[in-house]
Amino acid sequence: MRETEEGFERFERKPEATLTPELWQQLRHIAEALPEMWRRERLSSAQKKELLRALIAQVILKRVTPDHLEVKIVWVSGHYTVVRARPPIQRECDVTGYAQMVERVGSIWREGLEDDVEMAARLTREGFHSARAAEVLPVTVRKIRKAHGWRYSLDVGRTEMAWQGALTARGLAARLGVDVNWVYPRLYNGAIKAEYLSRHP
């Protein structure tokens, strides 16, 4: 890593190459014709690769952060183009802005949104991304929620007896002495309240 950085710094101090007038003229004609030829697919893949090899003098790769690369393409003219890329990485915690994304997941969850897909879409619109994708994946949201105990009410209802001072469907089934599958349809049609009150006046 340090060798790459030192090479990059040496290039920064290196003066630009000097071209003869004839070579400048040739490059000017190529620059004018190349975009059109490239767009209209008049060059084969092999020709494109060969042309790039002839035009590129050097490529310098610098990893700015674990998920951010800076690529400096040095052309034979001595000029260069800087391109930034976002390579896939292994660990979510190495994603730039990960701590802020975790905070954002918590704040959206507290707003009451209970949908990993929608939450992921919102985070993507806000500029966040996952370790191996340019957008936030629902699985990333789910992992963050579970790691911090931010559970959806439906998930809680399947495993817990009570939640935030109220009985869940499972807790109500245990209180009534019935199977939880008897509770669910009655919750949906509103009959459960009347039956519960009649059994527990």
Tell me, rounded to whole angstroms, the distance of Cα 80 from its chain centroid.
29
Domain spans of the chain, in order of start: 2-85, 92-150, 154-199
Output the pLDDT for position 201.
Answer: 43
Output the pLDDT for position 198.
Answer: 44
In a structure prediction context, what are the per-residue pLDDT tens digits for the chain, which is 201 residues long? 455 556 556 655 555 556 678 877 777 777 777 778 777 777 788 888 888 888 888 999 999 999 899 999 998 878 899 999 888 899 999 999 999 999 999 999 999 888 999 999 999 999 999 999 989 999 999 999 999 988 876 665 566 666 666 676 677 777 788 877 776 677 666 655 544 444 444
Q: Is the pTM of this model over 0.95?
A: no
Strands (E), 30-183: 56-65, 68-75, 80-85, 162-163, 166-167
What does the alpha-carbon distance between residue 115 and residue 155 come to, in Å, rounded to a whole number? 12
Task: Look up residue 37 and give its two tokens.
Answer: 């030829």
Report the half-sphere exposure of 104 (CA within 13 A, side-chain side): 20
DSSP 15: P
